[in-house]
Amino acid sequence: GGNTLCLANTHIFWDPEYSDVKLWQTHLLLQELERVVRNRKNIPLIFCGDFNSMPSEAVVELLKSEKVSETTKPNDPCNILPPVQSITHSLGLISAYEHVTGNEPRFTNYTGHYVGTLDYIWVSRDSVLPVSTLLIPNEKTLRGTDDTPLPNTRFPSDHLALCVEVEISPTNAQAQTLSMNQYQMQ
């Protein structure tokens, strides 16, 4: 019915030396999500997880702009990636945090050796409207009374929880189907 939603979560490979693997994993996952979403009349999609990629990297560029430029395509020593012009999708995703706050969080990972944004919530821009997001605690709050990076006694993970409140509306294809069904029933 009209209450179908695709919710996908992922954990992309972590090692910064293997940006090609991260892009390849993301590309394959996006291809499968496209198949699932399209086969179900363009159902709304929420795609979240630990992408282990900073906002300036190819994985985020692909998610955001539906393609990867030659300048951000990572080194690919084992030739696992298809040609850059084939690394695309048409899911029409927006970042929930960027939509609500104007930027990605300053950090979603806060350890002794790395502080930065690696985690994201992406949504279908045509059918999922991000309304509000969970605030990311400031550094003083994160470090707590024992003044240590994550994980610590207050925050048990090195990643911070992301949360978004959304309004979901039917996509154009779903609205047409609903309209046709209503018309046929009269």
Cite the active site residues.
50
- In sequence order, the 6+-apart residues with CB closer than 8 A to the CB of 90 are 34, 66
Residue 115 burial class via C-beta count within 10 angstroms: exposed 0-12, middle 13-18, buried 19 and up? middle
| Residue 29 token pair | 């996952």
Residue 110 burial class via C-beta count within 10 angstroms: exposed 0-12, middle 13-18, buried 19 and up? buried
| Residue 38 token pair | 């399209």
CA distance 21 to 23: 5
| Residue 61 token pair | 């560029």
